[in-house]
A and B are shown apart, each in its own frame.
Chain A
């Protein structure tokens, strides 16, 4: 039993997808988001637009994964997408953490080679 998407729903989906698209493109344009991260979000809005334009694809997908309503399919897709993005960010964070640690260690070792009187400027009783 498959319900058609109402025009109301289609308009809402298109507005949300276009807003996301414009927002992400603007962030990239103002250099607040690296292209590296933007493509995922652009892909998300394109997928929403695609499903509005071609609801049969959503119906077919629902059948394929065995979900009884399209709403479930959309929710599952959304959750999977967010999970993937967050795991990706966590791996980035792990690498950044490692890099920050090595930088701090390197800085400490290099700073010890400076004359002693300049060393104390950067340490102790700063908190």
Chain B
């Protein structure tokens, strides 16, 4: 491989994704043959861990459910200890197209970028977005533009490639345990790391429950997101930058 980004870990956090995680792992292994696949099983009560291991992934299992952020962070901490150079986070439900992983990694290899953010909206990408959710995303986008100066099209994207410095930040104590979205990008920017968006394909969920059904849950999500952006703004600068130095 030219411009090899080093040792790559593909990180998939999964909570009760037994019926969906197997094909995702297979697709990832097909798309990025050189990479190890790590599944963090976040206290699933189904056969997620068994299915993932049979599909060829390394599996870390939490004794109970920690939430999306806590689960991803277990993977970051593992990757850091095992000395990986890059981590790519991917959803377990097949929303993220694994074929795009090498394009994210390409952005990291020259060392110009710390976080390559997969965007479903950049480059003419279309994605069915309900009106309420589109409104929420516009709000988050505007807030991030205001606080970081960066124009990001898909600030809630969980499809990211991280270099070593970003990995150190994500493995640190400031990383949220519930929804690691916009405030993490704010944290990244405040820590002086560089983000670049890359167009990727995303698909609507292939089944199961999205956390964005109904009206109350998205409203609660928006409230927590605004609060955590505010809290991240109030964090003392050294508590954000300490990890990456």
Residues of A whose CB lies within 8 Å of any CB of B are: 97-98, 101, 104-105, 107-109, 111-112, 116, 119-120, 122-127
A120 touches B62 (CB 8 A): no
A125 to B173, CA, bound (A): 31
A119 cross-chain contacts in B, Cβ below 8 A: 49, 53, 59, 61
B40 touches A108 (CB 8 A): yes
Residues of B whose CB lies within 8 Å of any CB of A are: 40-41, 44-50, 53, 58-64, 66, 70, 73-74, 77-78, 81, 173, 177
Q: Identify the 9 closest CB pairs spanning chains A and B, nearest first.
A: A127-B45, A123-B61, A108-B60, A105-B74, A123-B49, A124-B49, A104-B62, A124-B47, A112-B60
Nearest-neighbour CB distance to chain B for A64, whole angstroms, equals 34
**Pair count A-B, CB < 8 A:** 68
Nearest-neighbour CB distance to chain B for A96, whole angstroms, equals 13
A124 to B58, CA, bound (A): 15
Nearest-neighbour CB distance to chain A for B239, whole angstroms, equals 14
Closest to A126 in B: B45
B44 cross-chain contacts in A, Cβ below 8 A: 123-124
A104 cross-chain contacts in B, Cβ below 8 A: 62-64, 66, 70, 74
Nearest-neighbour CB distance to chain B for A56, whole angstroms, equals 45
Closest to B51 in A: A124
Nearest-neighbour CB distance to chain B for A126, whole angstroms, equals 6
B41 cross-chain contacts in A, Cβ below 8 A: 123-124
Given A108-B63, A124-B49, A125-B50, 11 further pairs, Cβ under 8 A: A104-B64, A104-B66, A105-B74, A105-B77, A108-B40, A108-B62, A109-B74, A120-B50, A123-B61, A124-B47, A124-B48
A125 cross-chain contacts in B, Cβ below 8 A: 45-47, 50
